[in-house]
């Protein structure tokens, strides 16, 4: 595979992966904690406020990853910082899994993205950066 093709493929994969925080974060901003399965209705104001705040952060992390796509080979420091933020969130989610119990399928998917896909994308971005030097 040529360097250019590998870079383009990484850009496409990152763009597709960005759909997760953009969609989930955006939906959480609009719908609030009521979007969560089993949430009591009406949702307590403090829970909804905190949930929407975290969804806003999640949405902006997605936007920041999108900003890396055009020149992904040169965006290593930003990509690693964003990736570290996602991994830290995944480790927090893993702590919840161990201490509280197994979450729903959507949250399990998030855990796979946070502790599996994102670290692999970070390694791939580092490879593309190395090859482009």
- pLDDT tens string 26-70: 999 999 999 998 888 899 999 999 999 999 999 999 999 999 999
Report the pLDDT value the prediction gives residue 20, as an integer from 0 to 100: 97
Token digits of residue 50:
């905190």
CA distances from 37 to 23, 54, 103, 104, 106 (A): 17, 17, 10, 8, 10
Report the pLDDT value the prediction gives residue 39, as an integer from 0 to 100: 85
Cα 126 versus chain centre, distance: 18
Report the pLDDT value the prediction gives residue 54, as an integer from 0 to 100: 97
Do residues 72 and 11 lie in contact, with contact meaning Cβ atoms separated by under 8 Å? yes
Answer with the residue of higher pLDDT: 115 or 1: 115
Question: For 31, phi and psi rounded to 5 degrees?
Answer: -95, -20
Name the pTM for this structure.
0.93
Report the pLDDT value the prediction gives residue 16, as an integer from 0 to 100: 98
List pLDDT tens digits, range 91-124.
999 999 999 999 999 999 999 999 999 999 999 9
């Amino acid at each position: 595979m040529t360097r250019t093709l590998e870079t383009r493929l990484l850009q496409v994969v990152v763009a597709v992966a960005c759909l997760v925080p953009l969609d989930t974060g955006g939906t959480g901003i609009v719908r609030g904690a009521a979007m969560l399965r089993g949430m009591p209705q009406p949702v307590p104001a403090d829970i909804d406020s905190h949930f929407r705040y975290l969804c806003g952060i999640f949405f902006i992390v997605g936007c920041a990853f999108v900003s890396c796509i055009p020149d992904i080979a040169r965006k290593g420091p930003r990509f690693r910082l964003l990736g570290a933020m996602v991994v830290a969130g995944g480790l927090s989610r893993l702590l919840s899994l161990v201490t509280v119990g197994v979450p729903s399928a959507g949250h399990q998917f998030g855990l796979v993205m946070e502790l599996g896909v994102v670290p692999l994308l970070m390694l791939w971005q580092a490879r593309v950066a190395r090859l482009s030097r």
